[in-house]
Protein backbone atom coordinates (compact mmCIF):
# COMPACT_ATOMS: atom_id res chain seq x y z
CA UNK A 1 0.00 0.00 0.00
CA UNK A 2 2.82 2.36 0.90
CA UNK A 3 4.53 1.71 -2.44
CA UNK A 4 1.25 2.40 -4.25
CA UNK A 5 0.84 5.76 -2.48
CA UNK A 6 4.43 6.74 -3.25
CA UNK A 7 4.02 5.70 -6.88
CA UNK A 8 0.75 7.59 -7.20
CA UNK A 9 2.32 10.69 -5.69
CA UNK A 10 5.26 10.49 -8.13
CA UNK A 11 2.87 10.07 -11.07
CA UNK A 12 0.90 13.15 -10.01
CA UNK A 13 4.10 15.15 -9.74
CA UNK A 14 5.18 14.07 -13.24
CA UNK A 15 1.77 14.90 -14.73
CA UNK A 16 1.80 18.32 -13.05
CA UNK A 17 5.33 19.02 -14.28
CA UNK A 18 4.52 17.97 -17.86
CA UNK A 19 1.37 20.12 -17.93
CA UNK A 20 3.50 23.17 -17.14
CA UNK A 21 6.45 22.18 -19.36
CA UNK A 22 7.65 24.70 -21.89
CA UNK A 23 6.64 24.13 -25.49
CA UNK A 24 7.67 25.92 -28.64
CA UNK A 25 5.58 26.31 -31.79
CA UNK A 26 5.84 28.29 -35.00
CA UNK A 27 3.48 29.54 -37.72
CA UNK A 28 3.89 30.99 -41.23
CA UNK A 29 1.16 32.95 -43.00
CA UNK A 30 0.00 36.38 -44.13
CA UNK A 31 -1.62 39.33 -42.36
CA UNK A 32 -2.62 42.88 -43.20
CA UNK A 33 -0.37 45.75 -42.16
CA UNK A 34 -1.17 49.40 -42.91
CA UNK A 35 -3.27 48.50 -45.94
CA UNK A 36 -0.74 46.00 -47.32
CA UNK A 37 -0.62 42.21 -47.23
CA UNK A 38 2.65 40.90 -45.83
CA UNK A 39 4.10 37.50 -45.01
CA UNK A 40 4.60 36.81 -41.34
CA UNK A 41 6.47 34.35 -39.15
CA UNK A 42 5.32 33.71 -35.58
CA UNK A 43 7.62 32.07 -33.02
CA UNK A 44 5.99 31.18 -29.69
CA UNK A 45 7.09 29.66 -26.40
CA UNK A 46 4.46 28.54 -23.90
CA UNK A 47 4.67 27.89 -20.18
CA UNK A 48 1.42 26.50 -18.80
CA UNK A 49 -1.28 28.44 -20.63
CA UNK A 50 0.71 31.67 -21.11
CA UNK A 51 2.69 32.60 -24.22
CA UNK A 52 5.63 34.75 -25.14
CA UNK A 53 7.60 35.08 -28.34
CA UNK A 54 7.89 37.12 -31.53
CA UNK A 55 5.87 38.04 -34.62
CA UNK A 56 7.36 39.44 -37.82
CA UNK A 57 5.57 42.64 -38.86
CA UNK A 58 8.15 44.25 -41.16
CA UNK A 59 10.44 43.64 -38.16
CA UNK A 60 9.99 41.21 -35.28
CA UNK A 61 7.70 42.55 -32.55
CA UNK A 62 7.39 40.93 -29.11
CA UNK A 63 4.28 38.89 -28.30
CA UNK A 64 2.18 40.31 -25.47
CA UNK A 65 -0.71 38.87 -23.43
CA UNK A 66 -0.54 35.48 -25.15
CA UNK A 67 -2.83 32.57 -24.26
CA UNK A 68 -3.19 28.99 -25.49
CA UNK A 69 -6.67 28.09 -26.76
CA UNK A 70 -8.22 24.68 -27.32
CA UNK A 71 -7.53 24.78 -31.05
CA UNK A 72 -4.91 27.51 -31.35
CA UNK A 73 -3.58 30.63 -29.66
CA UNK A 74 -4.38 34.31 -29.20
CA UNK A 75 -2.06 37.19 -28.41
CA UNK A 76 -1.29 40.86 -28.94
CA UNK A 77 1.66 42.33 -30.84
CA UNK A 78 2.47 45.91 -31.86
CA UNK A 79 -0.93 47.08 -30.55
CA UNK A 80 -2.93 44.56 -32.61
CA UNK A 81 -4.89 41.50 -31.43
CA UNK A 82 -4.41 38.15 -33.20
CA UNK A 83 -6.17 34.79 -32.91
CA UNK A 84 -5.03 31.62 -34.69
CA UNK A 85 -7.51 28.81 -35.36
CA UNK A 86 -5.47 25.75 -36.35
CA UNK A 87 -8.55 23.77 -37.41
CA UNK A 88 -9.44 26.34 -40.07
CA UNK A 89 -5.87 27.38 -40.85
CA UNK A 90 -6.80 31.03 -40.32
CA UNK A 91 -5.39 33.99 -38.40
CA UNK A 92 -7.88 36.73 -37.46
CA UNK A 93 -6.60 40.17 -36.47
CA UNK A 94 -7.83 43.60 -35.48
CA UNK A 95 -6.27 46.82 -34.31
CA UNK A 96 -4.71 50.07 -35.59
CA UNK A 97 -3.11 48.25 -38.54
CA UNK A 98 -6.48 46.96 -39.80
CA UNK A 99 -8.60 43.87 -39.42
CA UNK A 100 -9.26 40.70 -41.35
CA UNK A 101 -8.81 36.94 -41.56
CA UNK A 102 -6.03 35.33 -43.57
CA UNK A 103 -4.31 32.00 -44.22
CA UNK A 104 -1.78 30.54 -41.78
CA UNK A 105 -0.18 27.15 -41.14
CA UNK A 106 1.67 25.59 -38.25
CA UNK A 107 5.32 24.75 -38.83
CA UNK A 108 6.99 21.39 -38.23
CA UNK A 109 9.95 21.16 -35.84
CA UNK A 110 12.99 18.94 -36.50
CA UNK A 111 16.13 18.52 -34.40
CA UNK A 112 19.34 16.86 -35.49
CA UNK A 113 23.02 17.25 -36.31
CA UNK A 114 23.88 19.42 -39.32
CA UNK A 115 26.10 17.05 -41.30
CA UNK A 116 26.50 18.69 -44.68
CA UNK A 117 25.64 21.81 -46.64
CA UNK A 118 25.33 21.75 -50.42
CA UNK A 119 23.45 23.51 -53.20
CA UNK A 120 20.46 22.55 -55.31
CA UNK A 121 21.63 22.14 -58.90
CA UNK A 122 18.26 23.25 -60.24
CA UNK A 123 17.14 26.69 -61.30
CA UNK A 124 16.60 28.00 -57.75
CA UNK A 125 20.19 27.39 -56.57
CA UNK A 126 19.10 27.23 -52.93
CA UNK A 127 21.22 25.67 -50.21
CA UNK A 128 20.46 22.10 -49.17
CA UNK A 129 21.18 21.15 -45.56
CA UNK A 130 21.65 17.48 -44.67
CA UNK A 131 20.58 16.92 -41.07
CA UNK A 132 20.73 13.63 -39.16
CA UNK A 133 17.26 13.42 -37.54
CA UNK A 134 16.96 10.42 -35.20
CA UNK A 135 20.01 8.96 -36.90
CA UNK A 136 18.57 9.24 -40.43
CA UNK A 137 19.80 11.90 -42.89
CA UNK A 138 17.15 14.29 -44.21
CA UNK A 139 17.64 17.09 -46.73
CA UNK A 140 16.04 20.49 -46.21
CA UNK A 141 15.89 23.54 -48.49
CA UNK A 142 17.44 26.61 -46.85
CA UNK A 143 16.87 30.13 -48.12
CA UNK A 144 17.14 33.04 -45.70
CA UNK A 145 15.53 31.68 -42.52
CA UNK A 146 14.98 33.67 -39.37
CA UNK A 147 17.31 32.93 -36.46
CA UNK A 148 15.41 32.44 -33.19
CA UNK A 149 17.86 33.90 -30.69
CA UNK A 150 18.19 32.58 -27.13
CA UNK A 151 18.10 35.97 -25.41
CA UNK A 152 17.31 38.66 -28.00
CA UNK A 153 14.97 39.49 -30.86
CA UNK A 154 15.20 37.05 -33.80
CA UNK A 155 17.27 37.93 -36.84
CA UNK A 156 14.98 38.44 -39.84
CA UNK A 157 17.30 36.44 -42.10
CA UNK A 158 20.30 34.24 -41.38
CA UNK A 159 22.44 33.13 -44.31
CA UNK A 160 25.55 31.85 -42.51
CA UNK A 161 24.20 28.38 -41.77
CA UNK A 162 27.68 26.96 -42.45
CA UNK A 163 28.63 28.25 -38.98
CA UNK A 164 26.36 25.53 -37.55
CA UNK A 165 28.02 22.57 -39.31
CA UNK A 166 28.58 19.69 -36.90
CA UNK A 167 26.20 21.11 -34.30
CA UNK A 168 22.85 19.89 -33.01
CA UNK A 169 20.28 22.31 -34.42
CA UNK A 170 16.51 22.75 -34.37
CA UNK A 171 14.75 23.74 -37.58
CA UNK A 172 11.25 25.12 -38.24
CA UNK A 173 9.88 23.79 -41.52
CA UNK A 174 7.12 24.64 -43.97
CA UNK A 175 5.95 22.17 -46.63
CA UNK A 176 7.44 19.37 -44.53
CA UNK A 177 7.08 15.62 -44.92
CA UNK A 178 9.10 12.62 -43.73
CA UNK A 179 12.00 13.40 -46.05
CA UNK A 180 12.28 17.10 -46.70
CA UNK A 181 10.91 20.59 -46.05
CA UNK A 182 11.65 24.31 -46.43
CA UNK A 183 13.54 25.90 -43.53
CA UNK A 184 11.92 29.16 -42.42
CA UNK A 185 13.46 29.37 -38.95
CA UNK A 186 16.46 28.07 -37.00
CA UNK A 187 16.84 28.08 -33.23
CA UNK A 188 20.16 29.41 -31.99
CA UNK A 189 21.96 26.42 -30.41
CA UNK A 190 22.54 26.41 -26.66
CA UNK A 191 25.81 28.03 -25.65
CA UNK A 192 26.06 30.17 -28.80
CA UNK A 193 25.57 33.91 -29.23
CA UNK A 194 25.65 34.44 -33.00
CA UNK A 195 26.24 38.06 -34.07
CA UNK A 196 24.09 39.67 -36.73
CA UNK A 197 27.11 40.30 -38.94
CA UNK A 198 30.06 37.99 -39.34
CA UNK A 199 33.06 39.32 -37.38
CA UNK A 200 35.86 40.68 -39.55
CA UNK A 201 38.88 38.45 -39.72
CA UNK A 202 42.05 39.93 -38.28
CA UNK A 203 44.69 40.70 -40.85
CA UNK A 204 47.76 38.55 -40.66
CA UNK A 205 50.91 40.41 -39.71
Same domain, 90 and 120: no
* 16, pLDDT greater than 50: no
Same domain, 84 and 141: no
Whole-angstrom CA distances from 109 to 9, 82, 182, 197, 205 are 33, 22, 11, 26, 45
Tell me, yes or no, whether 67 lies in a domain.
yes
Same domain, 30 and 90: yes
* 203, pLDDT greater than 70: no
| Residue 52 pLDDT grade (very low, low, confident, very high; cuts 50, 70, 90) | very high
What domain range includes position 35?
Answer: 22-106
* pLDDT value at residue 8: 36
Same domain, 134 and 78: no
Query: Which of the pair, 2 or 144, is modelled with greater confidence?
Result: 144
Percent with pLDDT over 90 in the chain: 67
Same domain, 43 and 83: yes
* pLDDT value at residue 179: 80
Query: Of 106, 138, 155, at which residue does a domain stop?
Result: 106
Query: Which of the pair, 122 or 142, is modelled with greater confidence?
Result: 142
Q: What is the CATH number of the domain that holds 168?
A: 2.40.50.140
Same domain, 85 and 117: no
**d(Cα 161, Cα 115) in Å, to the nearest integer?**
12
Q: What is the CATH number of the domain that holds 72?
A: 2.40.128
* 201, pLDDT greater than 80: no
Query: Of 50, 74, 106, at which residue does a domain stop?
Result: 106
Tell me, yes or no, whether 194 lies in a domain.
no
If DSSP states are collapsed to H, E and C, what string results for 25-37? EEEEEEEEECCEE
The number of distinct structural domains making up the chain is: 2
| Residue 12 pLDDT grade (very low, low, confident, very high; cuts 50, 70, 90) | very low
* 13, pLDDT greater than 50: no
Tell me, yes or no, whether 11 lies in a domain.
no
For the ranges 36-40, 50-54, 117-121, which has the lowest average pLDDT? 117-121
* pLDDT value at residue 14: 32
* pLDDT value at residue 21: 55
Tell me, yes or no, whether 200 lies in a domain.
no
**Mean pLDDT on 144-148:** 95
| Residue 10 pLDDT grade (very low, low, confident, very high; cuts 50, 70, 90) | very low
Same domain, 126 and 158: yes
* pLDDT value at residue 198: 80
If DSSP states are collapsed to H, E and C, what string results for the chain? CHHHHHHHHHHHHHHHHHHCCEEEEEEEEEEEECCEEEEEEEEEEEECCEEEEEEEECEEEECEEEEEECCEEEEEECCEEEEEECCCCEEEEECCCCCEEEEEEECEEEEEEEEEEEECCCCCCCEEEEEEECCEEEEEEEEEEEEECCCCCCECCCCCHHHHCCCEEEEEEECCCCCCCEEEEEECCCCCCCCCCCCCCCCCC
| Residue 6 pLDDT grade (very low, low, confident, very high; cuts 50, 70, 90) | very low
Same domain, 65 and 117: no
Tell me, yes or no, whether 193 lies in a domain.
no
Amino acid sequence: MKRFVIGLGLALILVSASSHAQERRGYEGVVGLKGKTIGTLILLESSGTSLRGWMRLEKFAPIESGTILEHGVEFSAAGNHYEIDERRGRISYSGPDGEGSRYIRRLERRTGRLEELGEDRGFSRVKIATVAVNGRPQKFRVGRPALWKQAAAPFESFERIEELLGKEITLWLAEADNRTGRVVGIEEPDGMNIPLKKPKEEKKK
